[in-house]
Amino acid sequence: MRNTTHHHHGGRRRHLHLLLHLIYYFLISLTIFPLLTTSKNLITPTQFLTGNQTLISAGEEFELGFFTPGISNNYYIGIWYKKIESQTVVWVANRDSPLKNSSAILKINSDDGNLVLINDSGKSIWSSNYSRAKNTVAELLDNGNFVLRLENDKNPENYLWQSFDYPTDTLLPGMKLGWDSKSRLNRYLTSWKSPDDPSTGDFSFKLDINGFPEIYLTKKQRINYRSGPWNGLRFSGVPEMKSTSPFTFQFAMNRNEVYYSFNLKNESVYSRLLVIHTGVLQRLTWIPTSKIWNQFWYAPKDQCDHYRECGAYGICDTNASPVCNCVKGFEPRNLQAWNLRDGRDGCVRVNKLECESDGFLKLSNVKLPESGTAFVDPEMGLVQCEELCKRNCSCLGYSNSNISGGGAGCVIWAEDLYDMRQYAAAEGGGQDFYLRVSAADLGLKSLLLKPDRTGRTDRFDRKLKVGPIRLIHHSGEYIEEELDLPLLDFSTVVNATDNFSDENKLGQGGFGCVYKGNLVEGHEIAVKRLSKNSGQGVEEFKNEMKLIARLQHRNLVRLLGCCIEMEEKMLIYEYMENKSLDSFLFNKDKSGLLDWKTRLNIICGIARGLLYLHQDSRFRIIHRDLKASNILLDKEMNPKISDFGMARIFGADQTEANTKRVVGTYGYMSPEYAMDGLFSIKSDVFSFGVLVLEIVSGTKNRGFYQTNNQLNLLAYAWRLYKEGKGLELIDSAISESYSTSEVMRCIQVGLLCVQEHAEDRPNMSTVVLMLSSDCASMPQPKHPGYCLGRRPLDTDSSSSKQDDSCTVNQVTVTVLDGR
């Protein structure tokens, strides 16, 4: 008994002794590297960050800590807005060195004073990499900057290291984009690889500090978009940077630095400039009352934003059709390609320069040519600039380097002029540019030459006057416009289509047939031939010819010309190698070719095309017949919206219109359009939402009831979404390699677009933002609008063909078959 008690007490003493040792070593560890037991804004040599601890800036504007993006299992150190509920990450430390778990430490290295991120194996995977220093601390500031500084020195000029010098995909107010000679850093933005992967992506936004500095958006070093040079007020190609904007802009160019920066006039608003993984540059704003990121500006947004769209000495103008024209004194280098609306080969000079007898023509409101090799003298006046250019025979043009305060400085171009753009005076873009031309060209009346010079034998040389048409611009201005559309001979079309052979037939609809054609010159075309006995089509044909000829966007099918001869009426389009979306989407043998990446690209492309029609084109266009068969796919499976026969132009302040003849396709019609004849941009948004859900599911909305015993695809998607089973909607033909977050985002966007009430549906600028940014916060969708398919209204067995029309609420509804 005595021995048992002795062993019992001895065991208790040993356990107590071990516990005391553990407490002792724990206390010792806290004195060396104590955890941040509460959120603070500093990391010091005696306190570090790990696991679920965060730093919060003094004013609680930003937060720093470990995070996992989307569905990723990797961990990163990042900075996000503290006051925005949906985590919006603006900076990532270890973007290319992910952690496999959160068992890591961010601390000050006692050896050299650097910030260092240590993984669970004790290995350093990221460091601030500053030269050795003592007594350093790391602080998260209220502007989002994470800085390493000496403990008692808060002077920004003396920061040892700062996250603002190493941006990821986001530029915050006060951040500098550009070159710093002291640190030898060129600070630029690079996109994430995907919404779930913050590693270095394909797209960069970088300031070229050579010549007359400007910023480029590139994909793997290939330029996609150019801002134009800074002219003292704004970048020459960004008219939105006007004095009435909610921002102030700074640009510095001196021996110490060349940079661009912005700030907000209202500090209660958040804003950021972002390069997203799809290759779009966005300026987003967050207003606390709206609790959503709004897209203030983005690029590239139209055809003229595409780099070198009109080649050398070509000038791009979205208010012209075609958009490419040659500057005065030049003609198309490749007339055939030019007339097929491909201006990339640019223009060549008609009359040779003679140097001494040359003069200069003033081009107003133009985006200055590419400026990386330009000569700049900020002190020289414009008169001296002209004299210098005149004496130098290699000088091709000149302009002011600073247009603020009446204009100053001199810029001279001595190499071929690329990527110019014409703005309307009301847009406030561009500036004056003085082009060197020969004496023979000084007598020409127009600054721009149309590429239809007489005496040529090109098959597209003849022109058809389309119009006049009275158009209302977004500004409210009325424009009476004639349009020259290239005219093709009927014999040429017959030869190109092998006399409209069945082998060349691409499809058929209510208007007639579409044929593939091959011109002698090698160009492939698609010929839309209006049937002579078609009940519908003549008005639609005229409408499409007037509208689409004036629309230019990479996600709209391109009209090349027309043929009107005898009783024939034909429209000539660019040939789309992969035909229409429905031929893949609803075909079991082909749907597997549409992997998730391709489907997402198609959804985003359609969204951009529709945004152009609603907001960014010269005139607000309502398509009214958006559906899978009207989405064409090029050889790279890029989508292009087609068939504008039903489209309507809206005025500047017009929000909706009413019609007694509802024309469209059941399954895609919004309830207010099908039932009451009301159409607006929101009815197009509804059709887009249906299309999104069809692309995700691989299933038609129309005919869904017969296949699945559900009301329709919208109801089925809505039920799955509410039950948290949204992923069950995804097409089984899609392989497992898809992003869950991207699929769910598309389903949510689709359901937001098909909400019953038009006012609840987002506009297309919001849709594009929600689709393109994983950081975009989205509201929860409400009940969708169920526009039911037509039920037969009679049972007249004597009728051999069912009528495709019905009357609803005294509105005639014409149902169009897919084509």
Q: Which residue has the tokens 């309307």?
A: 424
HSE on the CB side for 301, CA within 13 Å?
Answer: 26
484 is catalytic: no
- Point out the catalytic residue in the list 169, 208, 345, 625: 625
Quote the DSSP letter at residue 629: G
Q: Write the DSSP assignment of 711-756 as a string of letters.
A: S-HHHHHHHHHHTT-GGGGS-TTS-S---HHHHHHHHHHHHHHTBS
Q: Per the structure block, which two tokens stand in for 145?
A: 């900057």
Closest Cα to residue 75, out of 191, 200, 164, 196? 196
Alpha helices in 550-638 (DSSP H): 582-585, 596-611
The position carrying tokens 């004013």 is 59
Q: In what order do the strands lie in the sheet with 105-108?
A: 49-50, 105-108, 115-118, 124-127
The C-alpha atoms of residue 92 and residue 411 are separated, in whole angstroms, by 39
**Is residue 528 part of an annotated ligand binding site?**
yes
Please name the residue that has the structure tokens 């025979």.
393
Q: In the numeric block, which tokens belong to residue 393?
A: 């025979």
Taking the CA atoms of residue 146, residue 147, residue 152 and residue 158 in that order, the dihedral angle to the nearest 10 degrees is -150
Strands 505-509 and 42-43: unpaired
Asked if residue 557 lies in contact with residue 573, where contact means CB atoms within 8 angstroms, the answer is yes
Please calculate the CA angle 195-299-551 and round it to the nearest 5 degrees: 120
Residues in contact with 514: Cβ distance below 8 Å, sequence separation at least 6, in sequence order: 505, 506, 507, 508, 526, 527, 528, 529, 819
Of the candidates 205, 189, 208, 217, the one whose C-alpha atom is nearest the C-alpha of residue 258 is 208
Strand order in the sheet with 661-664: 661-664, 811-815, 805-808
670, burial (CB in 10 Å: exposed 0-12, middle 13-18, buried 19+): buried
Burial environment of residue 23 by CB neighbours within 10 A (0 to 12, 13 to 18, 19 or more)? exposed
Please say whether the beta carbons of 528 and 571 come within 8 A. yes
In sequence order, the β-bridge partners of residue 177 are 260
The candidate with the shortest Cα–Cα distance to 92, out of 45, 44, 146, is 146
Buried-exposed string 394-431: b where 16+ CB fall within 10 A, e elsewhere: ebbbbbbbbbeeebbbbbbbeeebbbbbbbbeeebbbb
Residue 542's Cα: distance from chain center in Å? 31
Report strand pairing: 678-680 vs 648-650: unpaired
* Residue 172 tokens, joined: 């915050």
Of 673, 670, 571, 555, give the one whose Cα is nearest residue 614: 555
Annotated binding site: 528
Tell me which residues are annotated as active site.
Answer: 625
Annotated binding site for ATP: 528
